[in-house]
Amino acid sequence: MPKHSKRFRNLSKDLEHLKVYSVDEAIEKIKKTATAKFDESIDIAIRTGLDPKYADQQLRGSCVLPHGTGKTTRVVVFAAGQKAEEARSAGADFVGAEDLVTKIEGGWVDFDAAVATPDMMRFVGKLGRILGPRNLMPNPKVGTVTQDVAKVITELKAGKVQYRVEKAGIIHSTLGKASFDAKKLKDNFLAFFQAINKAKPSGAKGTYIKSATVSSTMGPGFLVDVNEARVESEKTAS
């Protein structure tokens, strides 16, 4: 049997990354390639046909992953009085009002999610340039500007993820950890995919979801068959 050249072998590897897998196959591949000495994150990147520079093609929302993210979510809450007490009782990591705004203005951003009561937004609004680029700004569209702070804190701690479409039309999220079993990763994948599929903006043109890639922190990405994923996610949701 003839030996293949190094160039041929490298080309074969490149073509392997163009292969499209079923959800089950892609997750199996990820778990096999997540060989780092730490518990790698499993992530998803969905490429859409959206152009977020147009208002009717912007997309932002949230999704509760049925098995969580495997991460400890640090939640800050901007609230005062009774709502601040409710936030503390619900497990918020940091609670404050103008004092918390001042702390963040000083450069502190050691948290993963932020919630605010509506009356606090007059103070929180000035943090847009700090929290906005980090996707941490409280926003009523994703339910993080609310009077029901306890409910939102519980959801965030349980694995609620926030998403938004980026300039290139791509949506990123975590799906869990490499230590999750295949079923948990699949359940989380289908829940997230279904959330994005259902949230299609009114101004979307052409193909909405063009591709979906899953990967681990240190591993390669694997393309998922989006048509199969759509069918499976709809079955799961029904």
Q: What is the pLDDT of residues 219-234, one digit of tens each?
A: 999 999 999 999 999 8
Please check whether residue 6 lies inside any domain of the structure: no
* Residue 12 forms part of a structural domain: no
- What does the pLDDT average to over 186-194? 97
pLDDT at 10 over 80: no
Q: Which domain holds residue 41?
A: 21-69+160-237
Partners of residue 78 on adjacent β-strands:
96, 116
DSSP string, 91-118: T-SEEESHHHHHHHHTT----SEEEE-G
Residues 141 and 81 in one domain: yes
The confidence score (pLDDT) of residue 165 equals 94
- Phi, psi of 134, rounded to the nearest 5 degrees: -95, 5
Residue 113 CB-density burial (10 A; 0-12 exposed, 13-18 middle, 19+ buried): buried
Share of the chain above pLDDT 70, in %: 92
Are residues 98 and 146 both part of a single domain? yes
Sign of the torsion formed by the C-alpha atoms of 68, 74, 75 and 81: positive
Residue with tokens 């520079």: 53
- pLDDT, tens only, 139-187: 998 899 999 999 999 999 998 999 999 989 999 999 999 999 999 999 9
| 40: nearest Cα among 203, 178, 165, 226 | 178
What's the CATH number where 45 sits?
Answer: 3.30.190.20
Amino acid letter, 164: R
Task: Identify the H or E element spanning 152.
Answer: helix 149-158
Are 57 and 128 contained in the same domain?
no
- CATH number at 100 reads 3.40.50.790
Residue 4: inside a domain, yes or no? no
Note whether residue 3 is domain-resident: no
Eight-state DSSP code of residue 38:
S
On whether both 88 and 206 belong to a single domain, the answer is: no
| Confidence tier at 191 by pLDDT (50, 70, 90) | very high
Tell me, what DSSP letter sits at residue 142?
A: G
Listed residues 98, 129, 158: the one ending a domain: 158
Same domain membership, residue 167 and residue 149: no
Q: Check whether residue 80 and residue 153 sit in a common domain.
A: yes
On the question of pLDDT at 14 being above 90, the answer is no
Look-up: residue for tokens 């999750």?
Answer: 180
Relative to beta strand 221-224, strand 20-21 is parallel
The answer to whether 143 touches 152, Cβ cutoff 8 Å, is yes
The verdict on 96 and 210 lying in the same domain is no
- Could you tell me if residue 127 is inside a domain? yes
Asked whether the predicted pLDDT for residue 130 surpasses 90, the reply is yes
- The pLDDT score that the predictor gives to residue 1 is 42
* CB-based contacts of 126, cutoff 8 Å, min separation 6: 101, 105
First-residue to last-residue Cα distance in the chain: 52
Domain-ending residue, one of 114, 140, 158? 158
Judgement on whether residues 56 and 173 belong to the same structural domain of the protein: yes
Predicted confidence (pLDDT) per residue in 50-96, tens digit: 999 999 999 999 999 999 999 999 999 999 999 999 999 999 999 99
Mean pLDDT of 10-38: 82
- Number of domains present in the structure of the chain: 2
Q: Is the pLDDT of residue 3 over 60?
A: no
